[in-house]
Amino acid sequence: MNQAAITILQQALGEKLSQNAAVCDHHSHDMSRQPPHLPDAVVFAETEDDVVRTVALCHQHGLPVVPFGAGSSMEGHTIPIRGGISLNMTRMNRILAVHPQDFDAVVEAGVTRKQLNEHLRDMGLMFPVDPGADASLGGMASTRASGTTAVRYGTMRENVIALRVVTPSGQIITTGRRVKKSSTGYDLTKIFVGAEGTLGVITQVTVRLQPVPDVIASAICSFATMRGAVETVVETLQSGIPVARIEFLDEVAVDAANAHANLGLKRQPTLFLEFHGSARWVEEQSETVRSLAAENGGADFDWATRTEDRARLWKARHETIYSNQSLRPGCKTYTTDVCVPVSRLPEAILAARADLDASFITGKIIGHVGDGNFHVGYLIKPEIPAELAEAERLAERLYQRTMDMEGTFSGEHGVGISKLKYLRREHGEAVELMKALKSAFDPKGIMNPGKLGHEG
């Protein structure tokens, strides 16, 4: 049935549409542990007009459309679980405008964050949102992504100023103007940020930029206890210091970072910190945090001020997720993503650790703790049913405890597929409004069907 529609699409798009087996396979999965599913075809959009033609024809024929960026989703967002078209946006990777005086840039949705920062390098500007993966900005917007710098610069929620979107019926709209604030109507930008490709296809993103600080100083501090590390985070935030990054790694995560990047860190709960500002201001911030750390059993700061040392440090932090082989050959990380009010952070992390200590599987805890956001990664061999079941049991405990602490079941990875079942537990009757929104914007249900806008 779909094939007739695809033939029509192929006539319209020519070689931009592929049904090659390897291409379809590449678009059948992402970085999550969700089972793959093949699309019927892949469209490589090169222009907004390609997107319009694809979506309009899919709308006409009732064919699913699943936008695909870098494929770095952690929750199955881009898996076309009902087939249809995987709409690859990576060829739409032009940087359309940079406005240095306004601190914004307008880019096509396929531009990645590293590509943008490379482009900005000589302009004294940076795009700060850093989820680790070199994700596309369209994908980051759709996931409401964040990462290590959100504590200072916010998430995609705060950093997307406006979008161009192709609606499910194939119309091009803009969701806002290139201004710092506006009170002219419902906030369509914020509706599409975090919508996970279920309401339309983002084709352009206008993002906020930041001046590159005069001084960037990174430090590592190890602690005698996990509580000491986490209390230092809470007290740092309470003192109003605009720390640029404050990341927590437990002992197992330190092992992973050491093994992966040969960092030689002490096997203790550890904070990775970064300060941005003028020389004097960075000195003042770091002195305050150092004394807070010392009061909580922290060792002296180990500084990395050279660019290459800082790069190595943050690379190690980001790649802890890939560094499992050294911890347990053949294992994979079953990743979670929770966020609690900062005051509940010590209790939340200690409880997660206690669950791990009481289990026959092990795991690591890392977190963007300045936001109350952390990830417990269970190190399992998923082909062993008992291990997978245990990870799922622990994750269920973690998510329920998080929600009981006024927390959220995703700080930054999004809902995707398997966490749809938590939507009603967290949002209650508000889920009905989400469904109403989905039906209003996408009445034929062609945009990334079976994901957000539904329940699991």
Question: Quick one: 7 or 341, whose CB is closer to a second copy?
Answer: 341
Cα torsion 326, 328, 331, 337: sign: negative
- For residue 32, the minimal CB distance to a second copy (Å) is 14
Question: Quick one: 186 or 360, whose CB is closer to a second copy?
Answer: 186
- For residue 6, the minimal CB distance to a second copy (Å) is 28
Question: Quick one: 93 or 174, whose CB is closer to a second copy?
Answer: 174
Question: Quick one: 64 or 147, whose CB is closer to a second copy?
Answer: 147
- For residue 385, the minimal CB distance to a second copy (Å) is 29
- For residue 10, the minimal CB distance to a second copy (Å) is 28
- For residue 439, the minimal CB distance to a second copy (Å) is 7
Question: Quick one: 254 or 420, whose CB is closer to a second copy?
Answer: 420
- For residue 343, the minimal CB distance to a second copy (Å) is 4
- For residue 338, the minimal CB distance to a second copy (Å) is 9
- For residue 442, the minimal CB distance to a second copy (Å) is 10
Question: Quick one: 321 or 339, whose CB is closer to a second copy?
Answer: 339
Question: Quick one: 392 or 426, whose CB is closer to a second copy?
Answer: 426
Question: Quick one: 126 or 220, whose CB is closer to a second copy?
Answer: 126
